[in-house]
Amino acid sequence: MVSLGLTLVMLAFVVRLLQVQAVDADVYAAKAEKNRYSTHKLAAERGAITDRGGVELATSVDAYDITADPSLFTPKETKTGDAPEQAAALLAPIIDKDTDEVAEKLRTPKSRFTLLARRATPQVWKQIKDLRTALADKASTDPKAVNVLGGVFAVPTSKRVYPNAGLAAGILGWVNADGKGGGGIEQQLNKELAGKQGEVRYAQSGGRRVPTAGSTEKPAVPGSDVELTIDRDIQWAAQDAITEQVRKSHADRGYVLVQDTRTGEVLAMANAPGFDPNDLSQAQGTSLGNAAVQDAFEPGSTAKVMSMAAVLEENAATPGTRVTVPNRLHRGDRLFQDDIDHPTWYLTLNGVLAKSSNIGTILATGELGDTQEQVNKSLYSYLRKFGIGKETGLGFPGETSGILAPPDKWSTSQQFTIPFGQGVSINAMQAASVYSTIANGGVRIEPTLVRGTKGPDGRFTPAPAPKKTRVVSDRTARTVAGMLESVVDDEQGTGTKARIPGYRVAGKTGTANRVDPKTGRYHGYTSSFAGFAPADKPRVTVYCVIQNATKGSYFGGQICGPIYKKVMQFALKTLQVPPTGKAPARLPVTFSPGKPETPGRPADDR
Amino acid sequence: MSKKPELRGRAARLARLLPAAPSQAARTPFVLLVVLLLGGGLITLLLLNSSLNEGSFQLTKLKKETQELTDEEQALQKDVDKYAAPDALQRRARELGMVPGGDPAFLGPDGKVRGVPGAAPGTAVRPSAARPPAALPPASPAPSPTGTPAPPSASASASARQPATPSPQAPATGSPSAAGDPSAPASASAGGAPRPPAIAERPAPTTPGR
């Protein structure tokens, strides 16, 4: 009997052993595995964005999401009816939230998770932690006290910070809630900036790593740092000046671009109004983005420089060519006029640009060909070469190419308005690039915004060299530069406000009829000023635009000229560009109709 | 067992291979050695394990310390950035009575001045600037907190002291609050990628200019 009993018991053991060790082995092994090993994602640190001098414009810091488990705040758990209120009263001042709102969150029924504060600083979490520890100590000594903060936790995360707040915000963009770039460079170079997530898997016991048990770790690859061509100080000067003027003029918006004429690097690209990427909730939807490359507008008179360059390059005229400008000119289906009524002007080609005469420009570009069709074709080819209607090459998200219709689609009036910059749309970067091309001896260098990236290994990879194309000859470019000097230098010029004593400054004003984006009709003005300095040895191009100035003057020379001057002064100082000290070109602006034509110059019969 | 059984033939040969009477003397040290080795191994393992665990604790502690120091560094960096930001610098400079440099002028090594040096634009103070006495001579570093206007002769003395080569870091213009000014009117076109309206349908302008 006994032996039979023993045998049965043994048999039971054997069967169970077999079951555990053989039949269900996998299940148990998996169960053990699950509890024993824990896997964690290792977040890759997002690369910083710096200016050309290495000053950080965007960087990532540690942060904590403050969370809570509402089920630990119930009366049953805490033995007190108002635990959420007590906790909220303690937490609200630390996380800078409304007490009632926090209490409401902590009262969420049937939930084990609520987010109290997103991306709080480590200092905030430390304060809460210290408070929680103090309460826990008190609770352990005094049986009546309860730790109302027992259910508050933190999830480590990282936060993108922009130390200079709104500075260059349009270029930088922002990072969305998932940690991905949502605009600007953050979006354009998200892949480089983000890096690669890592993973670690180790045996754990009570949350602590077991040192002897094996672990596998795939380290995270930090993102690359991106170095922009922007100079923080010039950017600030530009942004400050344009913000002030947009406010004063009650304008819709404004942009300022500063470009190095010799390398095509963009030194500043400022928008107003801007936004603070640290706090997008306060930003206006319309000021997000980078209007300097995302807005298309009709440039107006600043585009006359391309017509002039075309006329000179084709040897159709010289700066001294006489142009008799009547008060009205009938062309196509309309009657053109200049910005002011005037008696018949006797201007040189140089004077046409200096006084920004529309009629003069129409007459001058008429010399580009024998028929209007030839004129259109020739002008179009120059506009294209200057980069109009094409991508700027920045590759910026949301960039517009502007609108330039092919010459066979030009309407009757467009044929005569395009020479003075109406009926064609561009973005501000394209316009700045036109002036840089003239400044750079007629060679267009594609603008760049990124100098290069610095990988996690610390190695700097420069951005690919920008494309260079010759647009006009060096001689033409120099002549146009001399003519642009008259705009600023001559008493009759429209850009006298932009003078910088001691320097030879080239510039051109622009006051265009603006297309209201709401109605698609002309309403208000686009005021602008473009130019470079020093005129005889150019280093910097500055382009300023103010859209729809509604208070005070709306003339480009009056409101953008001073901004051009301020920004140019600052840029010349920052880049330490001394004046060349040479005498200005001082090309003649007018001629007396009685005197004979200077020999060797083609006569203008109008 | 009083008499050994007799072995013959093959069995006897095999029996000769077996050790004769086991040696009593050699056994004790061997057992001791084994016990020692086992015990020693055990203790070593114990020590090893505890030192590993100790290391693990230390690692946790040091990691925590690193984290705290990183947090501190980031917090301090934030403070530094706050002071180093251009508009903060401008505000501070204004408080010290400094003004934007104006037209650039350069002093060559041969003593030749390039550019046209001029007086500092003393009165060009925006309403948002912290203090009015922008034309205070640089010699008086602390403008009175009540904002007493500068004496009329101040601008002359300021011009004499104006450096020939302005520092690139010196802020030029602007109000401290200008950068994030939300008061400007909202623009009509959307921020993303505004679609430029078609040009052809509109009447062409005849009176733009300048």
pLDDT tens digits, one per residue of A445-491: 999 999 999 998 889 999 999 999 999 999 999 999 999 999 998 88
Q: Are B199 and A423 an interchain contact pair (Cβ–Cβ within 8 Å)?
A: yes
What pLDDT score was predicted for residue B125?
45
Return the closest-CA partner of residue A91 out of A128, A62, A60. A128
pLDDT score of B20: 63
The H or E element spanning position A208 is strand A208-209
**A225-228/A49-50 β-pairing:** parallel
User: Rounded to a whole number, what is the distance in Å from the CA of B81 to chain A's nearest CA?
Assistant: 6
Q: What is the pLDDT of residue B24?
A: 58
**How many residues make up chain B in this entry?**
210
Task: Judge contact between A181 and A189, C-beta under 8 A.
Answer: yes
Taking an 8 Å cut-off on Cβ atoms, the answer to whether B183 and A579 are in contact is no
**Measured between alpha carbons, how far is A433 from A541 in angstroms, rounded to an integer?**
8
Question: Do B86 and A164 lie within an 8 Å CB cutoff?
Answer: yes
H or E element at residue A483? helix A474-489
For strands A450-454 and B113-115, give the pairing: unpaired
Given an 8 Å threshold on Cβ–Cβ distance, is A61 in contact with B192?
Answer: no
Q: What is the pLDDT of residue B7?
A: 61
C-alpha B94/C-alpha B177 separation (Å) is 13
Among A259-273, A410-424, A591-605, B98-112, the least confident range = A591-605
Q: Please indicate whether, in this complex, the C-beta atoms of A339 and B60 are within 8 angstroms of each other.
A: no
**What is the model's pLDDT at position A483?**
92
Q: Do B191 and A236 touch (CB under 8 A)?
A: no
> Quick one: which of B151, B119, B120, B159 has its CA closest to B133?
B151
> What residues of chain B lie within 8 A of the CB of A167, using their CB?
85-86, 179
Rounded to the nearest angstrom, the minimum Cα separation between B159 and chain A is: 16
Q: Which chain B residue has its CA at the smallest distance from A519's CA?
A: B197
One-letter amino acid at A123 equals Q
Q: Which tokens hold the place of A260? A: 């190095």
How far apart, in Å, are the Cα atoms of A594 and each of A346, A360, A587, A603?
10, 19, 19, 14
**Tokens at A189, concatenated:** 């170079």
pLDDT class of A596 with cuts at 50, 70, 90: low
The CA distance from B186 to A499, in Å, is 32
Nearest beta carbon to residue B168 from set A285, A502, A574: A574
Q: Tell me which residue of A591, A584, A572, A592 sits closest to A231, measured CA to CA.
A: A572
- In angstroms, the CA A135 to CA A145 distance is 8
A284 and B182 within 8 Å at the Cβ level: the answer is yes
- A250 interaction partners in chain B (CB closer than 8 Å): 184-185
Chain B residues near residue A236 by CB distance under 8 angstroms: 86-87, 171, 174, 179
Cβ-nearest to B187 among A237, A252, A424: A252
Q: Are B184 and A414 in contact (CB < 8 Å)?
A: no
In this structure, what are the phi and psi dihedrals at residue A66, rounded to the nearest 5 degrees? Answer: -85, 120
Measured in angstroms, the CA of B146 and the nearest CA of chain A are apart by 26
Cα four-point dihedral sign A323, A329, A334, A338? positive
What pLDDT does B5 receive? 60
Q: Do A239 and B179 touch (CB under 8 A)?
A: yes
Query: Hey, how many other C-beta atoms are within 10 angstroms of the C-beta on A291?
Result: 30
Inter-chain contact B210–A301, Cβ cutoff 8 Å?
yes
Chain A residues inside the 8 Å CB shell of B101: 569, 573
Distance CA A585, CA A505 (A): 11
A603: confidence class by pLDDT, cuts 50, 70, 90 = very low
Query: Helical H runs in A214-263?
Result: 232-248
What count of CB pairs under 8 Å joins A to B? 271
* A61 vs B74, B168, B170: nearest CB: B74
Contacts (Cβ under 8 Å, ≥6 apart) of B199: A298, A403, A405, A414, A423, A424, A425, A515
Sheet holding A540-547, edge to edge: A266-272, A253-260, A540-547, A522-533, A506-515
Whole-angstrom distance, CA of residue A567 vs CA of residue A553: 20
Cβ neighbours for B28, distance < 8 A, ≥ 6 positions apart:
none
pLDDT averaged over every residue in chain B: 66
Residue A431 contacts residue A255 (beta carbons within 8 Å): no
**C-alpha dihedral (B184, A161, A453, A169), degrees to nearest 10:** 0
Between the alpha carbon of residue A299 and those of residues A434, A463, B49, B114, the distances in Å are 12, 30, 77, 35
The ipTM, to two decimals, is 0.73
- Cβ contact (<8 Å) for A123 and B71? yes
CB B52 within 8 A of CB A203: no
List strand residue ranges (DSSP E) for A74-170, in order.
114-120, 152-161
Nearest-Cα residue of chain A relative to residue B84: A164
Q: What contacts A267, CB < 8 A, 6 or more positions away?
A: A52, A229, A230, A231, A234, A235, A258, A259, A260, A540, A571
pLDDT at B11: 73
Cβ contacts of B181 on chain A, cutoff 8 Å: 243, 247, 272-273
How close, in Å, is residue B207 to chain A by CA atoms?
5
Q: Which residues of A touch B196 (CB under 8 A)?
A: 296-297, 400, 402-403, 425, 515
Q: How confident is the model at residue A439 (pLDDT cuts 50, 70, 90)?
A: very high
DSSP line for B5-70: PP--HHHHHHHHHS-SSPPSTTHHHHHHHHHHHHHHHHHHHHHHHHHHHHHHHHHHHHHHHHHHHH
Average pLDDT, integer, range B164-175? 40
pLDDT given at position B6: 63
The CATH number for A41-224, chosen from 3.90.1310.10, 3.90.79.10, 3.30.2350.10, 3.90.380.10, is: 3.90.1310.10
Contact A555 B210 (CB under 8 A): yes
Is the pLDDT at A45 greater than 60, yes or no? yes
pLDDT band at A207 (very low <50, low <70, confident <90, very high): low
Residue B186 — very low, low, confident or very high, per pLDDT cuts 50/70/90? Answer: very low
Q: Which residues of B touch A232 (CB under 8 A)?
A: 86
Buried b / exposed e over A414-424, threshold 16 CB at 10 Å, is bbbbbbbbbbb
Strands A253-260, A266-272: pairing is antiparallel
Tell whether domain A232-274+300-574 is in CATH 3.40.710.10: yes
Q: Do B206 and A334 touch (CB under 8 A)?
A: yes
- A429, A395 Cβ separation under 8 angstroms: no
- A215: tokens are 């672990």
pLDDT tens-digit readout, B41-58: 999 999 998 998 899 899
Q: Of A401, A403, A382, which is closest to residue A390 (Cα–Cα)?
A: A401
H runs (alpha helix) in A19-121 = 25-36, 75-78, 83-95, 99-106
CB–CB of B192 and A400 under 8 A? Answer: no
Query: Closest to A572 (Cβ–Cβ): which among B104, B181, B189?
Result: B104
Range of lowest pLDDT (A2-16, A72-86, A449-463, B112-126): B112-126
* A511-553 pLDDT per residue, tens: 999 988 888 888 899 999 999 989 989 999 999 999 999 988 9
In terms of pLDDT, which residue wins out, A42 or A359? A359
- CA distance linking residue B128 with residue B91, whole number of Å: 10
Give the pLDDT of residue B122.
64
Q: Residue A63 in 3-state DSSP?
A: strand
Q: Among residues B94, B103, B96, which one has the least CA distance to residue B176?
A: B94
Q: If you compute the radius of gyration of chain A from its CA atoms, what whole number of angstroms results?
A: 34
Give the nearest partner residue to A232 out of B74, B86, B209, using CB atoms: B86
* pLDDT reading at A37 higher than 90: no
Per-residue pLDDT, B192? 40
Q: Do B182 and A520 touch (CB under 8 A)?
A: no
Looking at residue A87, its amino acid is: A
**In percent, how much of chain B has pLDDT > 90?**
20
Per-residue pLDDT, A105? 87
Q: How is chain A split into domains, by residue range?
A: 41-224, 232-274+300-574
Residues 6 or more apart whose CB falls under 8 angstroms from that of A305 comprise A353, A434, A435, A438, A480, A484, A508, A530
Q: Contact B191/A289, CB-based, under 8 Å?
A: yes
Query: What percent of chain A stands above pLDDT 70?
Result: 97
Which tens digits make up the pLDDT trace of A349-369?
999 999 999 999 999 999 898
Whether A542 contacts A258, CB under 8 Å: yes
Lowest mean pLDDT: which of A355-359, B22-26, B135-139? B135-139
* DSSP β-bridge partners for residue A506: A532
pLDDT at B135: 42
Distance between start and end Cα atoms, chain B: 135
ω into A534 cis (within 30 of 0): yes
CB A161 within 8 A of CB A62: no
Chain A closest-CA separation from residue B201 CA (Å):
9
B65 token code pair: 């310390």
Please name the amino acid found at residue B185: P
The CA-based diameter of chain A, rounded to the nearest angstrom, is 146
Q: Do residue A237 and residue B171 have CB atoms under 8 angstroms apart?
A: yes
Residue of A nearest to B185 (CA): A252
A221 Cα to chain B: minimum distance (Å):
19
E-state strands within A224-357: 225-228, 253-260, 266-272, 322-325, 328-331, 334-337, 345-348
| Residue A271 CA: distances (Å) to CA of A246, A289, A373, A547, B8 | 10, 9, 39, 11, 115
Report yes or no: B206 and A336 within 8 Å, Cβ to Cβ.
yes
A108 half-sphere exposure, CB direction, 13 A CA radius: 15
Instruction: Dump pLDDT digits (tens) for A69-126.
Output: 888 888 887 777 788 888 888 888 888 888 888 888 888 888 888 888 888 888 899 9
How far is residue A140 from each of residues A68, A81, A87, A147, measured CA to CA in Å? 21, 20, 18, 9
Residues of chain A neighbouring B107 (CB-CB closer than 8 A): none
Contacts of A411 in chain B (CB under 8 A): 200, 204
* A252–B185 CB contact, under 8 Å: yes
